[in-house]
Amino acid sequence: MELNATSLGKHLAQHPYNRVRLLSAGVEVSGPRHEYLIPFNQLISVACKRGMVWGELEFTLPDGKVVRLHGTEWQETQRFYHYFQRVWQQWSDEMSEVSAGVLTAQGDKLRALDSQGAWLSRRDLPALQQQIEDTLSALPLPLARLESFPACAADYALCRAWLREGEEKRRARNHNWTARMLEQHAAFFATVESSPLNRSQAEAVVNGESSVLVLAGAGSGKTSVLVARAGWLLRHGDATADQILLLAFGREAAAEMNERIQSRLQTQAITARTFHALALHIIEQGSSKKPRVSVLESDGAQRRALLIAHWRQQCSEKKAQANGWRQWLSEELGWTLPEGAFWQDDALAARLATRLERWLSLIRLHGGAQATMIEQAPEAIRDGVARRLRLMAPLVKAWKTALKEEGAIDFSGLIHQAVNILEKGRFISPWKHILVDEFQDISPQRAALLHALRQQNKRVSLFAVGDDWQAIYRFSGAEVSLTTDFHPHFGEGDRCVLDTTYRFTTRIGEMANAFIQQNPQQLKKPLNSLSSGHKKSIVLLPEDQLGALLDKLSGYARADQRILLLARYHHLRPALLDKAGTRWPHLNLAFMTIHASKGQQADYVIVLGLHTGHDGFPAPARESLIEQGLLPTPEAFPDAEERRLAYVAMTRAKEQVWLLFDPTRPSPFVAIFNRLGIPQLRKP
């Protein structure tokens, strides 16, 4: 059947189309120079309109395109339109049945997501949405018509919702799934640790994203979460024991983790390792050699002796080297050097030895060629860094020679070799889940090892537990931005927050949290306490009141309650502690640096040394050029890491904190504490 414009209609309409012909499943609209084929599966609607004289047919296609036929006799136009409608509707009814079957199957899959026993991750969503797109593209009906067919409407709406609001629906689905898991496995979460896991801990444990950062504030139970995570992976069938890699930064932390796992999970098949132990394993398996860590790494005296011997040798043999070292030590460090052969001075050598250790460690940690280190240094100090690296070059060479003669490797070499073996595919990682403790202490070198492990298998998940508020090891190469910018570095995923501390009171938490969050680069998070405390749970006190404070504590502190005295430096240990055993025999006193106190806790904490000066707190910036060139770029916020160090000190306490300061030269932190509302007392 076809419809043609009248002769007069053709002449007056001057339109490109003047004929329409009905095909088996479509129409052909044509004219003298143009022809347009419209299959039914591309037709959205057709309208029949009457003009002043002639009729008009209007065919609407996807994307709002309209094809019109003008100049047809009105009655003929109506007759064609009604016949076309019957044919088109019959075809549509048949195709709607086909579409309904396809859409129902897809809808059932989407509805089944709510009952599936697995997390739906961000990286799974694009594949799901692509599946929906593929389903819709295979339908015989145009998508714009589906809502007009009752058998198709509901399932099509569900498909559209997953395409348009996929992330919102994914989160809602995972929220419901999480609630179901926590309810079904309530006994596990109540007994996996000595105390039942709270809601935020349990939600972090079951999170199934491929990259999860768990922000674990001080005293919030990070070890419990790591142990429970390993147990959950086994219980839920996500991994076998040999597919779980648990990493800690120190041997003591790894040993504590292993003890907890064996005690709580009743298994020895999961073993926490240090990064260095992991690297040893990879090298041994990937090179058929069992590397040995050099004694120089464990014997500090031998290490310093080696460096000083070669430093003296280069100074005595090469005048240019000696002049370079004299300039470095006197001009940059401000040291007074003896005239003549200054390198023979034993006091100077002893003072320099620890610096040489540090500089060598940074160079080895970087691992690149000297030219690369120079190129990556900030332009303003690049020339100075280059001169110092050239002076250090003979010592680096001597170090490498000593390692070679010993047939051993140093710690930095372990990581670099392991990364190289992984990148060359000489070791294939068996681990599906990597769990990392104290993630805020991660360095670029260790991050490279994690990347190399995950590069072999894109499905490997990273579960990182840490607290950027407690990142205090930049001096050893740690880079806090690897935590604060976690997902750009390690891939999209989730951030979970452990929002309850079991250590300190609300008052201590409020003051410490407000202090640390003045730095806008620190990640914002809540940290609630179980006990409120009182306004004087944290106070400022003149440092000459330490004896009076200990006298007062001796009147009420029990022998089983720990009192921790913390300072920025070892040499700030108060002399009165030498007589503490007789003057306060029942006080459980301990002194340590704040760095050493990380991971510790005490009933009462006394923070010492809040003064200005060369040993002040915050410590004045005094990194050498080589340190500025090789360490991670410091944050723009003033005293950012020193603030975190103060936060660590304050949050060691369960019940009370005293911040001792020098009234004649108070630390800048004292004024900040005052503004935050911390009371300043004259006496305890």
78: containing domain: 1-184
Count of CB atoms situated within 10 Å of the CB of 334: 8
- Residue 114: what pLDDT? 84
Count of CB atoms situated within 10 Å of the CB of 332: 13
- pLDDT of 216 > 80? The answer is yes
Higher pLDDT, 567 or 51: 567
- pLDDT of 510 > 90? The answer is yes
- pLDDT of 652 > 80? The answer is yes
Is 513 contained in some domain? Answer: no
Going by pLDDT thresholds of 50, 70 and 90, the confidence category of residue 339 is: very high
Burial 551-581 (b: 16+ CB within 10 A, else e): eebeeebeeeebbbbbbbbeebebeebeebe
Which H helix or E strand runs over 347? helix 346-366
- Residue 288: what pLDDT? 80
Q: Tell the residue number behind the tokens 């840490």, with chain if given.
A: 466
Q: For 374, list phi and psi in degrees, rounded to 5.
A: -65, -45
Q: Are 192 and 177 part of one and the same domain?
A: no
d(CA 442, CA 412): 14
Among 17-21, 30-34, 537-541, the least confident range: 30-34
Nearest to 617 by CA among 666, 548, 679: 666
Q: How does pLDDT run across 448-465, given as a tens digit for each residue? A: 999 999 999 888 999 999
Q: Are 497 and 642 part of one and the same domain?
A: no
Q: Are 350 and 259 part of one and the same domain?
A: no
Among the candidates 408, 423, 455, a domain finishes at 408
Among the candidates 150, 184, 218, a domain finishes at 184
Q: Tell the residue number behind the tokens 């640390």, with chain if given.
A: 516
Q: Percent of the chain scored above 70 by pLDDT?
A: 99
- Residue 350: what pLDDT? 95
- Residue 483: what pLDDT? 97
- Residue 5: what pLDDT? 84
Cα–Cα distances in angstroms (integers) from residue 416 to residues 283, 441, 477, 549, in the given order: 10, 18, 15, 50
Q: Are 286 and 219 part of one and the same domain?
A: yes
Quick one: DSSP state of residue 523? P
Lookup: tokens for 479: 């880079």
Q: Which residues, in sequence order, are CB contacts of 368 under 8 Å at separation 6+? A: 376
Q: What is the 3-state secondary structure (H, E, C) of 398-415?
A: HHHHHHHHHCCECHHHHH
Kindly calculate the radius of gyration of the chain based on its CA atoms and give it in whole angstroms: 36
- Residue 506: what pLDDT? 95
Nearest to 594 by CA among 564, 623, 621, 549: 564
Is 476 contained in some domain? Answer: yes
d(CA 313, CA 277): 35
- pLDDT of 304 > 90? The answer is yes
- pLDDT of 352 > 80? The answer is yes
Q: Which residues, in sequence order, are CB contacts of 417 under 8 Å at separation 6+? A: 279, 283, 287, 291, 409
- Residue 14: what pLDDT? 66
Going by pLDDT thresholds of 50, 70 and 90, the confidence category of residue 501 is: very high
- pLDDT of 643 > 70? The answer is yes
Residue 488 sits in a domain whose CATH number is 3.40.50.300
Q: How does pLDDT run across 626-635, given as a tens digit for each residue? A: 999 999 988 9
Is 272 contained in some domain? Answer: yes
Burial 337-354 (b: 16+ CB within 10 A, else e): eeeeebbeeeebbeebbe
Nearest to 466 by CA among 232, 201, 218: 218
CA-based end-to-end distance of the chain: 104
pTM recorded for the entire structure:
0.90
- Residue 178: what pLDDT? 97
Is 588 contained in some domain? Answer: yes
Q: How does pLDDT run across 60-72, given as a tens digit for each residue? A: 999 889 998 888 8
- pLDDT of 13 > 70? The answer is no
Helix residue ranges per DSSP H, 485-632: 486-490, 506-516, 546-553, 580-583, 594-597, 625-630
Q: Are 160 and 272 part of one and the same domain?
A: no
Cα–Cα distances in angstroms (integers) from residue 507 to residues 529, 534, 655, in the given order: 9, 6, 10
Mean pLDDT of 312-341: 94
d(CA 194, CA 268): 19
Average pLDDT over the chain, rounded to whole?
Answer: 94
Q: What is the 3-state secondary structure (H, E, C) of 159-226?
A: HHHHHHCHHHHHHHHHHHHHHHHHHHCHHHHHHCCCCCCCHHHHHHHHCCCCEEEEEECCCCCHHHHH
Among the candidates 159, 184, 209, a domain finishes at 184
Q: How does pLDDT run across 137-158, given as a tens digit for each residue? A: 999 999 999 999 999 999 999 9
Q: Are 589 and 452 part of one and the same domain?
A: no
- Residue 11: what pLDDT? 64
Nearest to 345 by CA among 319, 315, 369: 315
Mean pLDDT of 484-496: 97
Among 27-41, 348-362, 425-439, 661-675, the least confident range: 27-41
- pLDDT of 323 > 70? The answer is yes
Q: Are 61 and 191 part of one and the same domain?
A: no
Q: Are 401 and 255 part of one and the same domain?
A: no
Q: Tell the residue number behind the tokens 């088996």, with chain if given.
A: 24
- pLDDT of 88 > 90? The answer is yes
Is 37 contained in some domain? Answer: yes
Is 423 contained in some domain? Answer: no
CA angle, residues 17, 19, 21, in degrees to nearest 5: 125
Q: Are 25 and 126 part of one and the same domain?
A: yes
Q: How does pLDDT run across 382-417, given as a tens digit for each residue? A: 999 999 999 999 999 999 999 999 999 999 999 999
Q: How does pLDDT run across 154-202, given as a tens digit for each residue? A: 999 999 999 999 999 999 999 999 999 999 999 999 999 999 999 999 9
Is 682 contained in some domain? Answer: no
- Residue 367: what pLDDT? 83
d(CA 353, CA 274): 27
- Residue 153: what pLDDT? 97
Going by pLDDT thresholds of 50, 70 and 90, the confidence category of residue 12 is: low
Helix residue ranges per DSSP H, 2-73: 7-13
The residue type found at 252 is E
Quick one: CA dihedral 545, 546, 551, 556, positive or negative?
Answer: positive
Mean pLDDT of 104-115: 93
- pLDDT of 95 > 70? The answer is yes
- pLDDT of 10 > 80? The answer is no
Residue 80 sits in a domain whose CATH number is 2.30.29.30
Mean pLDDT of 522-531: 92
- pLDDT of 9 > 70? The answer is no
Q: Tell the residue number behind the tokens 């991750």, with chain if given.
A: 121
Going by pLDDT thresholds of 50, 70 and 90, the confidence category of residue 369 is: confident
Q: Are 462 and 474 part of one and the same domain?
A: yes
Number of domains in the chain: 4
Q: Are 150 and 175 part of one and the same domain?
A: yes
Q: Are 668 and 531 part of one and the same domain?
A: yes
Residues 88 and 43: beta-carbon distance below 8 Å: yes
Is 429 contained in some domain? Answer: no
Q: Which residues, in sequence order, are CB contacts of 459 under 8 Å at separation 6+? A: 210, 432
